[in-house]
Chain A
Amino acid sequence: MANRYQNRIELLQGTLDLLILQTLRWGPQHGYGISQAIRLNSGDILQVDTGSLYPALHRLERQKWIAADWKLSENKQRVRVYRLTAAGKKRLLSERSRWAQLSDAIAGVLEPVKKESEA
């Protein structure tokens, strides 16, 4: 247990939105499914806290980037399923390009440091 927590990485402010939007790109999904998908796709490294997930889902819904419907799950359980809206798709594109810029920038900063420390 302790190990698992140590491996978890705190999500950068704003990246949760990106992750949610990206996850929903593969199709509508409920809150639990989203958190599982993020965990699995990150190889158990990104663990989404429910205290962040649900507020984020409801915020994105209010911003009309995602929409929610009640559907019946395969276990005949009523679940709230979120899907990406047209506005959400546009948002995802801009979030992704922002993320690409950001990671390039961070990589640029980290590279020289790495070389120096190796030397």
Chain B
Amino acid sequence: MKLPSWPGKKQQQLEKEIDSHLEMAKRDRVDRGETAQQAEAAARREFGNVALVQRTTREQWGWVWLEDCLQDLRYAARTMRRNAGLTLVAVLTLILGIGANTAIFSLVDGVLLRPLSFPRPDRLVFLTDYYPKGAFVVMRDQNLTMDLIANTDSTEFNLTGGDVPVRLTGTSVSANWFRVLGVQAAMGRTFQDGEDQPGKNGLVILSHSLWEQRYGSDPNIIGRSILLEGLSRQVVGVMAADFRYPSPKTELWVPLDLDPRQVGDYWGSSYMPITGRLHPQTTLQQANTDLTQQRPKVLAAFAWRMPNDSWIMGSVIPLQEAIVGGLRTSLLTLLGAVGLLLLIACANVANLLLARAAVRQKEIALRSALGASRWRIIRQLVSESVLMSMLGGALGLFAARYGLSLLKATLPADMPRLENVAVDIRVLLFTALLSILTGILFGLVPATGSSKVDLTEALKTGGDRTGRSGNNRLSRTLVIGEVAISVVLVIAAGLLVKSLWNLSNANPGFRAEYIVTARITPNPSFCKEAGRCQTFYNDLLARVRALPEVNDAAAVNGLPLGGSFATVPSDVEGYAVPAGAHVPMLMERVTTPDYLRVMGIPLLQGRAFTEADTAESAQRVALISKGTAERFWPGKNPIGAHFKPRWMREWWTIVGVVGDVHEHSMTRNLEDWLDGEIYTPYGPHAINDSGPEEPPVALTLVIRSSQAPKRFAGDLQSVVSQLKGDVPVTQIETLQGWLADAVAGPRSTASLFSVFAALALVLGAVGVYGVISYSVAQRTREIGIRMALGARRQEVLYLIVGHGAALAFAGVLIGLAGAFLLTRLMSSLLYGVGAADPETYFGVALLLVVVAIAASYLPARRAMRVDPVVALRYE
């Protein structure tokens, strides 16, 4: 064994210098009459430790620290090459651990941590409520602490005038929107103050991709007019390619139409979120106080009297929090999961190194006998592990880039800020830091253990025979820890999968099988003339029903589970608004009479709609959901009771009660600001949001058919275009697909967790296998003696498997306790299953013990086949 020599001339010279010193000393002694052998030994003794002298001398050269590091790394690289198999396993494990962490960190960084891409993003705030246009104008003009802006939630627009009418996602924004956000157009201009007034707002700004795809990047687009929703709008600007706000789907921006003469629209419907930019030196606290003080003024400005305590204003929170706050729990849970995965990987690699450290005992003893300090040896060993983890990190970065594209495909497409997620310099730094820390973590444990060397013991031949009990205890502890962490991860995954199962199998209140949907969106101008749209839809439904693939068809203003709907602030007969509460906000479904039948929504009481209800002369009737009946008429019969929109005189009569439908999401029937759900018949007595009595313009067809949607999408398109050429048909898909989209978030979390849990399980099993194999190898002699003394092979098998099972059992117990503490943090992600679900806990515990027994079975078989004669000779 030769220590790595200092490379380079200077080291050689130092060696020669010392050699000449020794040579001269020897010669002097020989001259004095000593024998050559005596002289040589005496000269060396007098000189002292050559290596130490070299080292202290080298320290005078400067840069020693760095050069030592380089030397350590060079030596480490050589050791790694010599142990190629071990290095491969360790690096693969680290690629998994570091790669997964890098991918999830880039997700967390891009979505949660990175500031919004606006100037001074920290000054942007969000008001946690929805406000009508009138309220926005009052607040914008009177607020003292913020510049307020408003934009509608994503709205859809018909773009006609081309070959095929298309439906685009856009948003209506207040004229000061771009200015306050601090965003400029890439070409042309953004809106100027006042351009949200009626008569001045016939403008549009295009997204870069719309300009590129639809208008072939026409450099003369500015000033041209395009037809949106049947109205001509002048293009004033094109945004930069990376500007997609408020939604990644946004293709165009139009000014709001702030027209106080449209009383219903201005005060009643078109509720929008409001964003603000805090004035300099204004705090969130002041903004909140100001908002509360404004409240009476806003309420007083309403077109109709709002009870003073009827409407609670939202509070002011940072905009970033508003956009991504809802994702925090699931993202941080994912980060926690990959963090645990990395710990398992570290424990595995540490165990590998521990096993090897036992083999290297003599080398280390020799190095320390030659004068290497304990710190020097630890540094050498840690250099090796850091080099290993850097290698794992570098390759893990590639794995993460690949994994990230898979990850993005798994995540729900509408996840905010997903477009920000990429492996960039921040992620690179994170990975580098993580790799170094990881290397120190898994290297330090075995290194501190190994550097405590009992020289005489270690240097004695065969001193290694029994192994080192200290290291054995350490590696057992590591495996127990690994199993415990695996238990936590697998339990978390189990809970998420179980709640996904519950979600997917929850009764949504309707039957989704064999239903195909299609969104029909004529221009609003087409429906201005009374009855024209009604005739169009009646004809359309008749023709669709006549298609050979179609069994039945109906129409509704929006699909359950997050489709669009109308909202009607109402007076409910016999219901007094409690102090502090707001007026009942009723969600309205406008349906053709056969909607309930096609969707399989049960009629619980009273009657359903008939064709007669759709006539101009018919009585105003409505259905309510079961939950609504229980809310407003608890224990009473709601049939025959009345309600009316707040701004109208006419009362609607309730004629029936239907089953509850998951209108909002799989976990909630209605959004929490809604108090009930009403159904009105499609016809002249439908309530158009807070506007007048008129049928909605856009409807979604629900078509019962046993055929796949693509089989008759073409037929559907041609039926519509025969009736009217400029009506886009979109969202042709199965209702089951829509249902699946509704659980896309939970599904992606559950599938990611399942992957992590599977990795944890594999790594855990490898860990148990490694430790048991190693202990079998160490105990070969002991097993041989046992067998020579008459132990049966069966007993040896039990001995070894029992060892593995005992480790697993200890790990499982700790893991169960850990899971009990940790899974509580994710209870908001669970549905229909408790964070301490006994079934999951028991199942996972059993699974882990079985896996551990299987992992120890292989080495146990090896132990069983030990030949006592060979084993006892084995030295």
Q: A: which residues have CB within 8 A of B?
A: 30-33, 36, 49-51, 54-55, 57-59, 62, 70, 73, 75, 77-80
Q: Are B60 and A50 in contact (CB under 8 A)?
A: no
Q: Are A80 and B47 in contact (CB under 8 A)?
A: no
Q: Which listed residue (B20, B57, B59, B60) contacts A79, Cβ 8 A?
A: B20
B1-28 residues at the A interface, CB under 8 angstroms? 13-14, 16-18, 20-21, 23-25, 27-28
Q: What residues on A are CB-neighbors of B13 within 8 Å?
A: 70, 80
Q: Are B20 and A58 in contact (CB under 8 A)?
A: no
Residue of B nearest to A54 (CB): B57
**Is B838 part of the contact surface with A, judged by Cβ < 8 Å?**
no
Residue of B nearest to A47 (CB): B46
In the bound complex, CA of A74 to CA of B25 (Å): 14
Q: Are B17 and A55 in contact (CB under 8 A)?
A: no
Q: Which listed residue (B27, B28, B52, B57) contacts A58, Cβ 8 A?
A: B57
Q: Are A59 and B60 in contact (CB under 8 A)?
A: yes
Q: Are A54 and B16 in contact (CB under 8 A)?
A: no
In the bound complex, CA of A59 to CA of B57 (Å): 8
Interface 1/0 per residue, B48-83 and A, CB below 8 Å = 110011001101111000000000000000000000
Q: What residues on A are CB-neighbors of B47 within 8 Å?
A: 50
In the bound complex, CA of A58 to CA of B47 (Å): 17
Q: What residues on A are CB-neighbors of B16 within 8 Å?
A: 78, 80
Closest approach, in angstroms, between the C-beta of A52 and any C-beta of chain B? 8
Q: What residues on B are CB-neighbors of A51 within 8 Å?
A: 48-49, 52-53, 56
**Also in contact, A80 and B20, with CB within 8 A (given A32-B25, A49-B48, A75-B27):** yes
Identify the 9 closest CB pairs spanning chains A and B, nearest first: A58-B60, A54-B57, A59-B60, A32-B24, A32-B21, A80-B17, A79-B20, A55-B56, A55-B57
Q: B: which residues have CB within 8 A of A?
A: 13-14, 16-18, 20-21, 23-25, 27-28, 47-49, 52-53, 56-57, 59-62
Q: What residues on A are CB-neighbors of B25 within 8 Å?
A: 32
In the bound complex, CA of A50 to CA of B27 (Å): 17
Q: What residues on B are CB-neighbors of A62 within 8 Å?
A: 60-62
Q: What residues on B are CB-neighbors of A49 within 8 Å?
A: 48
In the bound complex, CA of A57 to CA of B18 (Å): 12
Q: Are A31 and B17 in contact (CB under 8 A)?
A: yes
Chain A CB within 10 Å, residue with most, of B24, B47, B48, B52: B24
Q: Which listed residue (A55, A75, A80) contacts B60, Cβ 8 A?
A: A55
Interface contacts beyond A79-B20, A80-B17: sample of 6 additional A-B pairs, CB < 8 Å, sorted by A: A50-B48, A55-B53, A62-B60, A77-B24, A78-B16, A78-B20
In the bound complex, CA of A78 to CA of B24 (Å): 11
Q: What residues on A are CB-neighbors of B18 within 8 Å?
A: 54
27 sampled A-B residue pairs with Cβ under 8 A: A30-B24, A31-B17, A33-B24, A49-B48, A50-B21, A50-B47, A50-B48, A50-B53, A51-B49, A51-B52, A54-B14, A54-B56, A55-B53, A55-B56, A55-B57, A55-B59, A58-B57, A58-B61, A62-B60, A70-B13, A73-B20, A75-B24, A77-B20, A77-B24, A80-B13, A80-B16, A80-B17
In the bound complex, CA of A54 to CA of B59 (Å): 11
In the bound complex, CA of A99 to CA of B89 (Å): 63
Chain A interface, DSSP helix/strand/loop, else mixed = helix
Chain B interface, DSSP helix/strand/loop, else mixed = helix
Q: What residues on A are CB-neighbors of B23 within 8 Å?
A: 77
Q: Are B21 and A31 in contact (CB under 8 A)?
A: yes
Q: What residues on A are CB-neighbors of B60 within 8 Å?
A: 55, 58-59, 62
Q: What residues on A are CB-neighbors of B49 within 8 Å?
A: 51
Q: What residues on B are CB-neighbors of A58 within 8 Å?
A: 57, 60-61
Q: What residues on B are CB-neighbors of A36 within 8 Å?
A: 28
In the bound complex, CA of A30 to CA of B18 (Å): 11
Q: Are B20 and A32 in contact (CB under 8 A)?
A: yes
Closest approach, in angstroms, between the C-beta of B258 and any C-beta of chain A? 79
Q: Are B53 and A54 in contact (CB under 8 A)?
A: yes
Q: What residues on B are CB-neighbors of A32 within 8 Å?
A: 20-21, 24-25
Residue of A nearest to B62 (CB): A62
In the bound complex, CA of A78 to CA of B12 (Å): 13
Q: What residues on B are CB-neighbors of A75 within 8 Å?
A: 24, 27
Residue of B nearest to A58 (CB): B60
Closest approach, in angstroms, between the C-beta of A75 and any C-beta of chain B? 7
Q: What residues on B are CB-neighbors of A57 within 8 Å?
A: 57
In the bound complex, CA of A73 to CA of B59 (Å): 28
Q: What residues on A are CB-neighbors of B28 within 8 Å?
A: 36
Residue of A nearest to B17 (CB): A80
Q: What residues on B are CB-neighbors of A77 within 8 Å?
A: 20, 23-24
Chain A CB within 10 Å, residue with most, of B48, B57, B61, B62: B57
In the bound complex, CA of A57 to CA of B13 (Å): 14
Q: What residues on A are CB-neighbors of B53 within 8 Å?
A: 50-51, 54-55
Q: What residues on A are CB-neighbors of B20 within 8 Å?
A: 30, 32, 73, 77-80
Closest approach, in angstroms, between the C-beta of B4 and any C-beta of chain A? 20
Residue of B nearest to A30 (CB): B20
Q: What residues on B are CB-neighbors of A55 within 8 Å?
A: 53, 56-57, 59-60
Q: What residues on A are CB-neighbors of B61 within 8 Å?
A: 58, 62
In the bound complex, CA of A30 to CA of B19 (Å): 12
Residue of B nearest to A75 (CB): B27
In the bound complex, CA of A70 to CA of B24 (Å): 15
In the bound complex, CA of A31 to CA of B54 (Å): 14
Q: Are B24 and A73 in contact (CB under 8 A)?
A: yes
Q: What residues on B are CB-neighbors of A54 within 8 Å?
A: 14, 17-18, 53, 56-57
Residue of B nearest to A53 (CB): B53
Closest approach, in angstroms, between the C-beta of A5 and any C-beta of chain B? 11
Residue of A nearest to B20 (CB): A79
In the bound complex, CA of A70 to CA of B9 (Å): 13
In the bound complex, CA of A31 to CA of B15 (Å): 13
Chain A CB within 10 Å, residue with most, of B17, B53, B59: B17
Q: What residues on A are CB-neighbors of B24 within 8 Å?
A: 30, 32-33, 73, 75, 77, 79
Residue of B nearest to A62 (CB): B60
Q: What residues on B are CB-neighbors of A79 within 8 Å?
A: 17, 20, 24
Closest approach, in angstroms, between the C-beta of A17 and any C-beta of chain B? 12
Closest approach, in angstroms, between the C-beta of A50 and any C-beta of chain B? 5
In the bound complex, CA of A73 to CA of B21 (Å): 12
Closest approach, in angstroms, between the C-beta of B291 and any C-beta of chain A? 70
Closest approach, in angstroms, between the C-beta of B633 and any C-beta of chain A? 96
Closest approach, in angstroms, between the C-beta of B66 and any C-beta of chain A? 16
In the bound complex, CA of A79 to CA of B49 (Å): 20
Closest approach, in angstroms, between the C-beta of A23 and any C-beta of chain B? 15
In the bound complex, CA of A75 to CA of B56 (Å): 29
In the bound complex, CA of A32 to CA of B28 (Å): 11
Closest approach, in angstroms, between the C-beta of A93 and any C-beta of chain B? 24
Closest approach, in angstroms, between the C-beta of B47 and any C-beta of chain A? 5
Closest approach, in angstroms, between the C-beta of A114 and any C-beta of chain B? 36
In the bound complex, CA of A59 to CA of B56 (Å): 11
Closest approach, in angstroms, between the C-beta of A37 and any C-beta of chain B? 13
In the bound complex, CA of A57 to CA of B49 (Å): 17
